Chain A
């Protein structure tokens, strides 16, 4: 018996969430007195998983699986679960993972708890804490099935080093043609830019910025901070920014360490999607803007004056701390 963790990589390198879910898996394994096996696809750095407590890596290297395919990846994870006799499966909350996990759960008849924010409260019964009602509440949820699937929220558990030597084995799941009835025909992805899902810092702009032409300063602020850019819903509805940047209850969830909201009023639907961020900063001309009630730090002021100054001060800070 072991705990299985799906560690996601992109172009051979692990995503940050891979180490977070490995850390989480290692905590679960400790609680139930077993070891962690990871499954990874075409990763070049499997040995790194040992730093986060993984003792065995099943490495799938397959040309057929170079491009993500939810059904085929799910089949591989199911096969690994069976061959390892895993009772707990730990996964992240990335877009790809949220695509494949329901498939894995259904194939195994396993209960799946998503958006889990802490280590299990108990393992028998198996009980986890997860966010519900778009971050407005927490549920303490028991998973009743023999096999349990836990989806860990981004940045909720953090990285915990746990020095182990990981043995690496090749793993060749038997794939089936039925897994490839959906085919990726085009991927349109910004390269060299931090994505909202992976970002430690997110800089977000709202309708207060008046128009798409004013996003240059948002981009620049994001660049200085190594942050991802995001926006409120009306901004993407009006086509000022792409849909993928829209955050909030009906957009992408944000769980970054730092979220900077500029010219965003802080409507309840916006806050619902970003409140899992640890530190929130708001810059808004209106001291009555609801976001000030939800923020940790705030500046009442005009974005067109404050943001350029902030960029300048951050550049000075970076120069001093380089």
Chain B
């Protein structure tokens, strides 16, 4: 089985978010970049397939050279090879078209992406990619079993979950639950050393549509101070929620 994990290079979850250039760009100053958490769950599941069922695992990122440290981290975790499409990820549609080209050229059986990137929160790349390639697709995937070319996936639905029978070639958009938290791997020294020798190929982008443009950004208005209610006077909270906030 050949697996491609799509890795989005995103600001660490604790990052302070600021904008620059007249609020037209995300300010990367002082920001630490990491593997998108959803993609890390996917990569971890890919490593499980590799070890338990035999699979080759490649990763792909659409991004500039600055994405390479994050890609090396994915190699250190255990991916075999990395492909960088040398283009700024202009929007989800653009990224999906680039990744579709990578998938076509690499003849992957399983493509793992995340439910969403925690930067622009598009939640669309895996679904668009699957549709462009006419592959099966399961979103918000929290369990995946593969047996030959048959696949059984579980996806989260509002208020529960649904089990889906499908088949390879398959694209999933995965999220927390796909693997146990305790299975996530921190790269060790050996992994880091090996990652340096692994292939990271750079390919040029294909001509593609950019469907949306973020013209400018802003931040939510700062919050007013919290109104504290005494623990001995819980009734006051009920009053405030009813009369002031009008939510009950």
Contact = CB atoms under 8 A, between A and B. Distances in A.
Nearest to B18: A137
Contact of A298 (B139, B220, B229, B235): B229
A136 B136 contact: no
B161 A188 contact: yes
Interface stretch (B70-78, B81-89, B236-244): B236-244
Contacts of B163: 184-188
B189 interface: no
| Best-surrounded residue of B93, B165, B218 (most CB of chain A within 10 A) | B93
Given A102-B123, A139-B217, A141-B215, A297 B138 contact: no
A246 interface: yes
A187 B156 CA distance: 10
Given A112-B212, A182-B136, A299 B164 contact: no
A169 B166 CA distance: 33
Contacts of B19: 137
Contacts of A309: 234
Interface string A108-132: 0111111100000000000100011
B227 A297 contact: yes
Interface of A: 70-71, 94-96, 98-99, 101-103, 105-107, 109-115, 127, 131-145, 178, 181-190, 193, 195-198, 200-201, 225, 233, 237, 243-244, 246, 249-251, 257-258, 268-269, 272, 275, 278-279, 281-282, 292-302, 305-306, 309-310, 313-314, 317, 321
Interface string B216-233: 111110011011111100
Contacts of B120: 132-133, 139
8 contacts: A99-B139, A111-B212, A112-B124, A141-B215, A181-B167, A237-B181, A269-B14, A298-B226
B145 interface: no
Contacts of A103: 127-128, 130-131, 137
Contacts of A275: 220
Nearest to A133: B17
Interface residues of B, number: 81
B121 interface: yes
B171 to A, nearest CB: 10
Interface string B112-153: 000000111111111110111010111110100000000010
A106 B13 contact: no
A137 B237 contact: no
B128 to A, nearest CB: 4
B195 interface: no
Interface of B: 11, 13-14, 17, 19, 26, 37-38, 91-93, 96, 118-128, 130-132, 134, 136-140, 142, 152, 155-167, 175-177, 181, 209-220, 223-224, 226-231, 234-235, 237-238, 240-242, 245, 247-248
Given A105-B128, A250-B176, A182 B159 contact: no
Given A182-B138, A310-B234, A95 B214 contact: no
Given A144-B213, A281-B237, A297 B226 contact: yes
Interface of A: prevailing SS: mixed
B175 A250 contact: yes
B156 A95 contact: yes
Nearest to B139: A99
B245 A297 contact: yes
A106 B38 contact: no
A186 B174 CA distance: 19
B137 A71 contact: yes
| Best-surrounded residue of A95, A195, A258, A300 (most CB of chain B within 10 A) | A95
A244 B156 contact: yes
Contact of A137 (B134, B156, B218, B248): B218
